[in-house]
Amino acid sequence: MKTLIIDYGVSNLGSVSRAVEECGGKVFVNDYPKKSEKFEKIILPGVGSFHVGMKNLRDRGWPEFIKQFVLEKEIPILGICLGMQLLADSGEEGGETPGLGLISGQVEKLKSSEGGERIPHVGWNQIHQKRKDLLLEGVLPGADFYFVHSYHLVPTNKKDILATTPYCNNFVSVVNKKNIYGTQFHPEKSGLTGFMILKNFTTKICKLKLKTYDISVKDLIKQIKNAVKDQKVICAVSGGVDSSVA
């Protein structure tokens, strides 16, 4: 399965590409959407400011491309560091700037708690998982990851929070909404545990299309009778008769 890594001029492309390849994934790096090959995953890495990151994405025509594939075609995306922040509705770094709008929320500057933590937040720190997800499968409680940032994403919907970090009032360090993922830390610089997250994303996070049917039992029976008419029908139920009893 090939992973598209987006190059928009503010990315640590080499380390991310090598890390994904070390995890057994196939990658191709692309700086403009028109050059794109076939892919099944997207990684949006990034270092630097929100304003510059969004400007570069817009200048190269990436926002429309990303939204088309992520929202319409349900291709999984993983934003890393600045890439995670750009998933938000807007960010205040470098002046109020609209984001990609894939995760409802704002990107704000970190604020020290009573402990007086240093900003920027640089170094290793824990993440505390809030709910189960394939992205964090196999990651031990309290595992450490490498961070370098001064801003953080504040999701509007708490259901989009996958993990938090005990620093500057417990900022959100991992987000998820359906096929949209983001990590504030750098998994490619976080040793074997970081590589585990990249491997989970490239091998376990798959497109999932859920179909719902607005039809009553009576209508369904009518459809079957019209199709079968006078013929005989065999109904096979997985698990036997017990499974068909409601």
Task: Please identify every residue annotated as catalytic.
Answer: 81, 186, 188
- Helices within 103-216 (DSSP H only): 191-203
Strands annotated E in 83-150: 90-91, 97-98, 105-109, 121-126, 128-129, 144-149
What radius of gyration, in Å, describes the C-alpha atoms of the chain?
22
**Unique residue bearing structure tokens 């240093």:** 118
Q: Which residues contact 75 (CB under 8 A, 6 or more apart)?
A: 39, 40, 41, 42, 69, 179, 207
Residues paired with residue 145 on neighbouring β-strands, in sequence order: 125
